[in-house]
């Protein structure tokens, strides 16, 4: 409900002063509530994990929620960022290339997000500059305040309208005090004033240090950094203290006193062995009750739904905890030192392991180090092997050697995007005898480009830039491994991010020698899944897509489940809930428990 006082605040601002407060058509102030999460002291505290866990416990109560990440960098999206420095590039179904935190939100909320859920300074400034050229600022000088901040407020309100969410979770990138994020903080400060009381909840995530030389937790860095937030005009309603061990009462009391936040709203958020345990930890601490109270949302909650949602989630936690059979999967990659560059793969392995009863351990194998002499030893004792996505020619030789070895030695294999292209090159060279078979990404002038850039296909189906991005349908051939894994569905959807494809000119020779293209684009000659027949290999499957991006705790991705099950069969174990072809029943059951997603148009 919009109160008179809210209307008068907004009316006054937009008409009688020079402040720019854009209200998109159909926006009703007060209808949507906002929770804003700030990071203090340092980056890397897990703001996304915290914010998504908090959003989840409100979602469990029957509230519809949607997140937005405000990222300070000037890139328009994360597409050009190096995963070695920034973590993996997550791709949404609509093709948005974004920060890996969006993956955390999708997994935690079991919800597909869209480009409205991700904003960078690059997008904000581009849009302001375009409006300036169009003369939309009515002759005024265009300024950080009110125009740039106005653009931020507009994005938040547009998301509120499109999602129809009860609560929008705003995660402000970086750390309070960073120059590049300061205007986001100013925008939410202004907006909380405009929307009026009980519509904004500010949560500061802070860090409690525990120097080993002292052997105790110290609150001073947290105190000083919370003052920076006060200086920006934000008085947090809630403080969540990150630390490795539970934050003791004395430290929380100090933080409460110096930050002027009641003790019952200063929470400990210490390390857990799985991020999926955090929602229950926050609920146990009473964070959900505090937010509901501050946002006056008590009447909207549904206790029976909450109980049911908790049971479903706890079912996953129990499966995860009970999954004790060690299974080692080798990941042959380039950025093996940085776990964040393969974050979604690690999550997909955890989800698949939980449903199969396996505790998956990852062995990182640097492709640049792998050769014909050491491959047997390098891949010995592995239950299965993954060649993940990648770009460029570095380490390709090692990847080809690894794929030949797993094909010939019948080690379960899952190829992801580049991992499918490598499988095609390897099969072309070593089974079909096609001399010089390669990808034009690796060797632009190779005599037999079995993987090639196919511009006419990009023209038809490509989105933006020059990559094929986002979710596309895959027609699955009946009676194949893929068909069994996907529960005999004839059409499935996965997310893609690639430039090169299998060259259709070579299809007939590849197929004649036994390679099966079990998933294709329904519209174009684009090969999307390949496999070896089960009579010739226990588990050899690869996809041009990134199936790891759509794996969720409540919806483990079938190609990963198949890999873990095959690895266990190799060890002589039939996994508890997953039979040979795939635990379609358990997966379908998990899927039916998905939370309803707000409609993002």
Active site residues: 417, 546, 548
Token pair 């897509």 is at which residue? Answer: 545
Residue 95 CB, nearest approach to ligand GLN (Å) = 13
Q: How far is the CB of 595 from ligand GLN (least distance, A)?
A: 29
Among 72, 333, 390, 553, binds ligand GLN (CB under 6 A): 390
How far is it, in rounded angstroms, from Cα 534 to Cα 477?
14
Nearer to ligand GLN, 418 or 539 (CB): 418
218, 499, 534, 570: residue in contact with ligand GLN (rule CB under 6 A): 499
- 306-317 b/e (C-beta count within 10 Å ≥ 16 → b): beebbebbebbb
| Contact predicate 17/183, CB 8 Å | no
User: Which residue's CB comes closest to ligand GLN?
Assistant: 389
Tell me the torsion sign for CA atoms 450, 455, 460, 465: positive
The Cα 502–Cα 498 span in angstroms is 11
Single out the segment in contact with ligand GLN by CB under 6 A; choices: 18-26, 117-125, 310-318, 388-396.
Answer: 388-396
Number of residues that bind ligand GLN (CB under 6 A): 10
Instruction: Locate all alpha helices (DSSP H) within 249-302, ordered by sequence.
Output: 249-259, 278-285, 287-294
**Site stretch for ligand GLN (CB under 6 A), options 140-148, 175-183, 494-502, 554-562:** 494-502
Instruction: Work out which of 190, 441, 452, 484 binds ligand GLN, going by CB under 6 A.
Output: 441
Q: What is the DSSP letter of 179?
A: G
Please check whether residue 266 is in contact with residue 255, taking contact to mean a CB–CB distance below 8 angstroms: yes
Number of C-beta neighbours around residue 562 at 10 A: 27
Token look-up 């007939």 returns 508
Of 329-337, 400-408, 493-501, 533-541, which segment contacts ligand GLN by CB under 6 A? 493-501
- Please identify, among the stretches 51-59, 317-325, 358-366, 383-391, the one whose residues bind ligand GLN according to the rule CB under 6 A: 383-391
- Residue 498: CB minimum distance to ligand GLN, A: 3
The residue range among 173-181, 295-303, 486-494, 497-505 that interacts with ligand GLN, by the rule CB under 6 A, is 497-505
534 binds ligand GLN (CB under 6 A): no
Nearest distance from C-beta of residue 416 to ligand GLN, angstroms:
7
Contact between 266 and ligand GLN by CB under 6 A: the answer reads: no
- Name the residue nearer to ligand GLN (CB basis): 85 or 220: 85
User: CB neighbours of 482 closer than 8 A, spacing ≥ 6?
Assistant: 476, 518, 519, 529, 531, 541, 559
Q: Judged by CB under 6 A, does residue 399 bind ligand GLN?
A: no
Are the beta carbons of 211 and 243 closer than 8 angstroms? no
**Please, which of residues 402-431 interact with ligand GLN by CB under 6 A?**
417-418
CB of 439 to ligand GLN, least distance (A): 8
Residue 549 to residue 368: CA distance in whole angstroms:
26
Other Cβ atoms less than 10 A from the Cβ of 325: the count is 19
Question: Rule CB under 6 A: is residue 458 a binding residue for ligand GLN?
Answer: no
Q: Does residue 598 belong to the site contacting ligand GLN (CB under 6 A)?
A: no
CA separation (Å) from 355 to 69, 276, 343?
31, 15, 19
> In terms of Cα–Cα distance, which of 259, 168, 160 is closest to 601?
160
Of 502, 494, 417, whose CA–CA distance to 457 is shortest? 502
Give least dist CB 546 to ligand GLN, A: 7
Q: Which residues lie closer than 8 Å to 202 by C-beta, 6 or more apart? A: 36, 38, 188, 192, 234, 235, 236, 237, 238
**Range in contact with ligand GLN (rule: CB under 6 A) among 10-18, 176-184, 357-365, 492-500:** 492-500
Q: How far is CA 128 from CA 17, 260, 464, in A?
A: 20, 37, 21
Q: How far is the CB of 419 from ligand GLN (least distance, A)?
A: 7
Cα-based torsion angle of the residue sequence 55, 57, 60, 63 in order, rounded to the nearest 10 degrees: -50
CB of 499 to ligand GLN, least distance (A): 4
Residues 352 and 551: beta-carbon distance below 8 Å: yes
Largest CA distance in the chain: 78
Closer residue to ligand GLN, CB minimum distance, 159 or 332:
332
497 near ligand GLN (CB under 6 A): yes
- Answer for which of 20, 38, 184, 500 binds ligand GLN (CB under 6 A) is 500
Nearer to ligand GLN, 46 or 390 (CB): 390
Q: Given the complex with ligand GLN, which of 297 and 545 has the nearer CB atom?
A: 545
Q: Is 364 in the site for ligand GLN (CB under 6 A)?
A: no
Closest distance to ligand GLN from the beta carbon of 150 (Å) = 37
Among 107, 351, 498, 555, binds ligand GLN (CB under 6 A): 498
Q: Which residue lies nearer to ligand GLN by CB, 499 or 534? A: 499
Instruction: Between 101 and 441, name the residue whose CB sits nearer to ligand GLN.
Output: 441
Nearer to ligand GLN, 221 or 504 (CB): 504
Stretch that binds ligand GLN, among 126-134, 204-212, 496-504, 553-561 (CB under 6 A): 496-504
Beta strands at 540-543 and 413-416: parallel, antiparallel or unpaired: parallel
Q: Which two tokens mark 23?
A: 């209200």
463 exposed, middle or buried (CB, 10 Å; 0-12, 13-18, 19+)?
A: middle
Report the SS3 class of residue 207. strand
CB 457 to ligand GLN: min, Å: 12
Q: In this chain, which of 391, 431, 475, 570 binds ligand GLN, going by CB under 6 A?
A: 391
Q: How far is the CB of 337 from ligand GLN (least distance, A)?
A: 19
Closest listed residue to residue 550, CA positions, set 50, 26, 107, 60: 107
| Footprint of ligand GLN (CB under 6 A) | 389-391, 417-418, 441, 497-500
């Amino acid at each position: 409900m919009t109160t008179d006082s809210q209307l008068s605040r907004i009316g006054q601002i937009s008409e009688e002063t020079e402040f720019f407060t854009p209200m998109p058509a159909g926006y009703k102030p007060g209808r949507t509530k906002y929770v804003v999460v700030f990071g203090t002291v340092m980056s890397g505290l897990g703001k996304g994990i915290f914010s998504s866990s908090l959003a989840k416990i409100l979602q469990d109560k029957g509230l519809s929620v949607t997140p937005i990440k405000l990222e300070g960098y000037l890139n328009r999206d994360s597409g050009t960022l190096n995963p070695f420095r920034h973590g993996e590039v997550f791709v949404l179904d609509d093709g948005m290339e974004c920060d890996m935190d969006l993956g955390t939100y999708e997994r935690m909320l079991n919800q597909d997000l869209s480009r409205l859920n991700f904003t960078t300074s690059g997008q904000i400034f581009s849009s302001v500059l375009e409006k300036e050229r169009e003369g939309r600022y009515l002759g005024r000088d265009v300024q950080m305040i009110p125009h740039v901040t106005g653009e931020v407020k507009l994005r938040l309100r547009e998301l509120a309208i499109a999602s129809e969410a009860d609560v929008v979770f705003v995660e402000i990138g970086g750390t309070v005090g960073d120059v590049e994020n300061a205007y986001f903080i100013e925008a939410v400060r202004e907006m909380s004033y405009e929307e009026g009381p009980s519509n904004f909840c500010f949560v500061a995530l802070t860090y409690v240090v525990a120097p080993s030389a002292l052997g105790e937790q110290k609150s001073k860095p947290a105190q000083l950094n919370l003052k920076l937030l006060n200086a920006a005009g934000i008085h947090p309603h809630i403080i969540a203290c990150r630390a490795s061990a539970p934050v003791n009462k004395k430290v929380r009391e100090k933080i409460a006193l110096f930050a002027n936040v009641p003790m019952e709203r200063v929470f400990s958020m210490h390390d857990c062995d799985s991020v999926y345990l955090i929602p229950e930890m926050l609920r146990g601490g009473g964070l959900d009750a505090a937010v509901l109270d501050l946002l006056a949302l008590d009447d909207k909650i549904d206790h029976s739904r909450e109980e049911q949602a908790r049971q479903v989630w706890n079912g996953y936690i129990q499966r995860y905890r009970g999954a004790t059979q060690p299974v080692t999967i080798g990941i042959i990659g380039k950025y093996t030192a940085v776990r964040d560059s393969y974050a979604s793969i690690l999550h997909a392995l955890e989800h698949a392991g939980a449903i199969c009863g396996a505790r998956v351990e990852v062995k990182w194998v640097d492709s640049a180090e792998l050769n014909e002499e050491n491959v047997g030893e390098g891949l010995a004792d592995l239950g299965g092997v993954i060649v993940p996505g990648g770009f460029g020619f570095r380490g390709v030789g090692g990847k080809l050697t690894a794929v030949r070895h797993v094909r010939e030695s019948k080690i379960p294999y899952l190829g992801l995007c580049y991992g499918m292209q490598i499988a095609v090159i390897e099969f072309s060279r070593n089974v079909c005898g096609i001399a010089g078979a390669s990808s034009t990404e690796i060797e632009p002038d190779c005599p037999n480009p079995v993987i090639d850039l196919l511009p006419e296909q990009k023209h038809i189906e490509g989105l933006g830039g020059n990559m094929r991005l986002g979710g596309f349908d895959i027609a699955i051939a009946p009676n194949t491994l893929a068909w069994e894994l996907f529960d005999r569905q004839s059409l499935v959807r996965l997310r893609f991010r690639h430039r090169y494809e299998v060259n259709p000119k070579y299809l007939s020779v590849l197929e004649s020698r036994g390679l099966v293209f079990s998933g294709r684009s329904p519209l174009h000659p684009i090969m999307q899944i390949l496999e070896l027949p089960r009579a010739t290999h226990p588990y050899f499957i690869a996809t041009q897509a990134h199936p790891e991006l759509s794996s969720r705790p409540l919806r483990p991705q079938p190609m990963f489940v198949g890999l873990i099950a095959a690895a266990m069969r190799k060890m002589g174990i039939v996994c508890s809930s997953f039979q040979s072809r795939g635990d379609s029943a358990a997966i379908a059951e998990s899927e039916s428990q998905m939370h309803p997603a707000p409609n993002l148009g």
